[in-house]
Amino acid sequence: MIARRAAIQARIASIDRDVARGTIPTLIDSFGRKHDYLRISLTERCNLRCRYCMPEEGVPLSPSGNILTNEEVVRLARTFVHQGVNKIRLTGGEPTLRKGLPDLIRELRGLGVQQIGMTSNGIALWKKLPELVHSGLTHLNLSLDTLDPHKFERMTLRRGHDKVLKSLHTALSLHASSQAPMLNYSGPRLQSVKLNTVLIRNVNDSEIARFLALTRSNPLSVRFIEFMPFAGNQWDANAVVTSSELLQRARDLVHGGWFDNDLPSSLPDSEGVVALPREPTDTARTYRIRGFTGTFGFISSMSDDFCAGCNRLRITADGNLKPCLFDQKETPLRDLLRSQSPSAEQELVAAIRQAVGGKFAKHGVPNSSFSSPEDGHDQRTVRDAGEKIGERLARPMILIGG
């Protein structure tokens, strides 16, 4: 065990010397997309049973020995950082179920990345969040699909809506721009708090106004996510509420005076809802209701994808690299991490670069092409995309990582 640890440390030191001698390389695919954002799933376990994420019959979990250890997560992250990654997001399953999470975040932050983010369902987050932020967590995405506690139980098959709201309030109190900061806390602050809401027609799309109202006085970004197809989640194109429909509904709410925010009724719809600047790698198109503190946006993977600017890579909890959320191709990295071979680190980097180089243009589909402004963004577009993706899916969302 001591010899193995010494060999690992020697390999890490060798890579550090190589990086110090020259510029950090970048992970660029055949379409010229630079990948600097790594999402790492820490566990396949979850304390909720959301229908769009986990099949109704459940999923067989990987043996515990197949899940990356904390040490392996850090080593793998270090390799990606040395290839140009500067943002890391921890996902699951539910990442707060992972043992040693504060120490893991602290070590990842020590790699020198710009951001350490996490996506959580919030059930157990509220009591752990101050320590996680103090350890180096900078960005938080909280998943919440309904503000109705009874509907929450129907959608997740579990109780705990009050705990998620408590986690949201805790997160906002730890935000750098909070007007009601947490008492007796003097450590670093969250730079970003986002609420992820998967909208499903006739299930929770009637709550759009209530979610938008959360952005009135909170430093919060509410992001409405289009219902996406994954293995076993009974996806239906008709259940997708497209981003174009959502934007119009938001404008109608504002123009109709739903928020009573002193907007002149004579203002055109578009002036009450202001579009914000968007970076090429942003997944969401973001807006602000005039006069509100927070923002809202749409992640429109189905109707108006953002594949042309994709900069993300994913590591599953069992150590496979997925260049695209929807790609059934996976490159196993765990065995290379555990290899005793002197060339294992070089083989690991080569495997990563080969996987990135083979990334498809769009939705993990071979021979696909990027969307153009002339493409439609209606239900036909959604249905076509869903059919192409659905033909290739091998894992449910819970086993990929959110």
| pLDDT tens, position by position, 205-223 | 999 999 999 999 999 999 9
Q: What pLDDT score was predicted for residue 400?
A: 74
C-beta of residue 135 within 8 angstroms of C-beta of residue 105: yes
> Which CATH number fits the domain 26-399, given the four candidates 3.20.20.70, 3.90.700.10, 1.20.1250.20, 3.30.70.890?
3.20.20.70
Q: How many CA atoms lie within 13 A of 164 on its CB side?
A: 25
Q: What pLDDT score was predicted for residue 306?
A: 82
Residue 206's CB is within 10 A of a number of other CB atoms, namely 13
Look at residue 379 and tell me whether its pLDDT is greater than 80: no
Query: Is pTM, for the whole model, over 0.75?
Result: yes
* Nearest alpha-carbon partner for 38 in 356, 399, 354, 301: 356
Q: Alpha-carbon distance 306 to 246, whole Å? A: 17
Find the range with the poorest average confidence among 125-129, 229-233, 284-288: 229-233
Q: What pLDDT score was predicted for residue 4?
A: 44
C-beta of residue 298 within 8 angstroms of C-beta of residue 246: yes
pLDDT digits (tens, 9 = 90+) for 20-74: 544 567 899 999 999 999 999 999 999 988 887 777 777 788 999 999 999 999 9
Could you tell me if residue 286 is left (phi over 0), alpha (psi between -120 and 50 degrees) or otherwise beta?
beta
Q: What pLDDT score was predicted for residue 1?
A: 43
Q: Tell whether the torsion through CA atoms of 323, 325, 326 and 328 is positive or negative.
A: positive
